[in-house]
């Protein structure tokens, strides 16, 4: 209950221009500024530096150029050009080639066909260079179009792409069966958006139970699934289930967000599991940042302490 109120509250705040202005001014100003805990930086160079540090710790990464809800075609083309430049920068840097992106960033709200064209342009540059591209899942208003786009591209032969399913959505277990049958790669998450009762479980227990069922189905029938969570109970369940069914640790990976539960991140790697860190960067970090605050009220104290310490 609290979690859904908190998500709603921070979702509302994320639309405040005043807060965005204040946060943009102070959040990333210095290496110690409060938003840097969760955001690798505003430039691709900073993201690449962060990725190199993670590689040095034995972790994998996926870089995400932050941006969403682009409403004009010009904005969508600009985001696409930026992504193409990120592809080139990653190749040049020689780091692992893995990206995450959002369809609304590529113009889904302006024109669906253009958003798909933009995604194709990115895939045409990235796939021959050996990239894996994950299409993030946004709010339930976009579930159908995101899965449709993904499945169409898959049927057109794009195989270095993957999708995300959210265990808080009632429909996701049916979607999972279809995606498993395709043999496509799924990232399993609980869901970061505030969703209505008609489409989503509202209690943590129900969301967790669905996550546990989907996790087992992915480990048994999925293609190199990504178990994306910071929840120790879900991580322990995945480890125990894989061990019991003799599923080796190289058949799946864990994923966590940059700056969250670094203790668990280090432990998983030390225990011999594959871990990929989602590394967000870019100027448009405010909505992402607010979603992270909404997930955990203690983060607000962390941010307030950071602001108080700013000189």
Ligand X SMILES: Cc1cc2nc3c(=O)[nH]c(=O)nc-3n(C[C@H](O)[C@H](O)[C@H](O)COP(=O)(O)OP(=O)(O)OC[C@H]3O[C@@H](n4cnc5c(N)ncnc54)[C@H](O)[C@@H]3O)c2cc1C
Q: Which one from 64, 109, 136, 175 is the annotated catalytic residue?
A: 136
Minimum CB separation of residue 164 from ligand X in Å reads 4
Q: Which is nearer to ligand X, 74 or 301 (CB)?
A: 301
Size (the chain), residues: 311
| C-beta of 118 vs 167, nearer to ligand X | 167
Q: Which is nearer to ligand X, 15 or 72 (CB)?
A: 15
Cα distance between residue 106 and residue 95, in whole Å:
24
Among 137, 200, 219, 237, binds ligand X (CB under 6 A): 137
Binding residues with ligand X: total (CB under 6 A): 23
- Residue pair 166/189 in contact (Cβ under 8 Å)? The answer is yes
Helical H runs in 194-297?
204-221, 232-244, 262-270, 286-295
Strands (E), the chain: 60-65, 98-101, 132-135, 161-166, 185-189, 226-228, 253-257, 275-281
Instruction: Name residues contacting ligand X, limited to 230-259 (CB under 6 A).
Output: 230-231, 255-257
Q: How far is the CB of 235 from ligand X (least distance, A)?
A: 9
104 near ligand X (CB under 6 A): no
The rounded distance, in Å, linking the Cα atoms of 186 and 137 is 11
275-281/226-228 β-pairing: unpaired
> CB 261 → ligand X: shortest distance, Å?
5
**Which of 260, 262, 267, 306 is in the footprint of ligand X by CB under 6 A?**
260
Contacts (Cβ under 8 Å, ≥6 apart) of 47: 40, 41, 63, 279, 281
- Which SS3 state, helix, strand or coil, does residue 84 take? helix
Instruction: Point out which residues pair with 278 in neighbouring strands.
Output: 62, 257
Instruction: Answer yes or no: 187 catalytic.
Output: yes
Query: Active site includes 117?
Result: no
Q: Is 193 in the site for ligand X (CB under 6 A)?
A: yes
Out of 187, 194, 276, 292, pick the active-site residue: 187
215 binds ligand X (CB under 6 A): no
Residue 131 vs 193, nearer CB to ligand X: 193
Residue from 164, 219, 235, 268 touching ligand X (CB under 6 A): that is 164
Shortest spacing between CB 193 and ligand X, in angstroms: 6
Question: Closest CB to ligand X among 41 and 191?
Answer: 191
Choices 50-58, 109-117, 148-156, 294-302 (CB under 6 A): range interacting with ligand X: 294-302
DSSP-derived 3-state class of residue 200: strand
Q: Does 136 engage in binding with ligand X (CB under 6 A)?
A: yes
Taking CA 281 as the corner, what is the angle to CA 100 and CA 121, rounded to the nearest 5 degrees? 40
Distances (CA, A) of 89 to 98, 133, 174, 257: 12, 15, 38, 22
Least separation in angstroms between CB 33 and ligand X: 17
Applying CB under 6 A, among 41, 162, 191, 282 the residue interacting with ligand X is 191
Phi-psi region of 157 (alpha: psi -120 to 50; beta: other; left: phi over 0): left
Nearer to ligand X, 228 or 237 (CB): 228
Residue 280 backbone dihedrals phi, psi, to 5 degrees: -85, 145
Give the interface with ligand X as residue ranges (CB under 6 A): 136-137, 164, 166, 189-193, 228-231, 255-257, 260-261, 278, 292, 295-296, 299
Which amino acids are annotated catalytic?
Answer: 136, 187
């Amino acid at each position: 209950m609290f979690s859904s109120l908190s998500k709603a509250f921070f979702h509302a705040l994320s639309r405040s221009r005043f807060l965005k202005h204040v946060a943009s001014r102070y959040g990333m100003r210095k290496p110690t500024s409060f938003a840097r805990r969760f955001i690798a930086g505003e430039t691709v160079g900073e993201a690449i530096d962060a990725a190199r540090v993670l590689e040095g710790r034995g972790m994998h990464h996926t870089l995400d150029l932050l941006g969403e809800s682009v409403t004009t075609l010009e904005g969508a083309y600009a985001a696409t050009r930026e992504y193409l430049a990120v592809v080139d920068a990653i190749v040049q840097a020689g780091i692992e080639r893995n990206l995450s992106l959002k369809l609304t960033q590529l113009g889904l709200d302006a024109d669906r066909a253009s958003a798909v064209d933009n995604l194709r342009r990115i895939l045409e540059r990235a796939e021959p260079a050996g990239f894996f591209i994950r299409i993030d899942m946004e709010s339930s208003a976009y579930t159908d179009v995101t899965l449709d786009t993904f499945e169409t591209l898959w049927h057109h032969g794009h195989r270095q792409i993957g999708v995300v399913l959210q265990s808080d959505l009632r429909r996701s277990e049916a979607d999972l069966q279809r995606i498993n049958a395709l043999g496509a790669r799924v990232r399993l998450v609980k869901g970061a958006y505030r969703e209505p009762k008609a489409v989503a479980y509202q209690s943590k227990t129900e969301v967790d139970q669905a996550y546990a069922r989907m996790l087992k189905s992915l480990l048994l029938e999925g293609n190199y699934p990504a178990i994306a969570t910071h929840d120790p109970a879900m991580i322990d369940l995945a480890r125990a289930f894989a061990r019991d069914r003799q599923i080796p640790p190289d058949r799946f990976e864990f994923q966590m967000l940059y700056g969250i539960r670094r203790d668990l991140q280090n432990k998983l790697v030390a225990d011999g599991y594959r871990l990929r860190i989602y590394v967000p960067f870019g100027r448009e970090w405010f909505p992402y940042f607010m979603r992270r605050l909404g997930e955990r009220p203690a983060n607000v104290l962390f941010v307030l302490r950071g602001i108080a310490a700013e000189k």
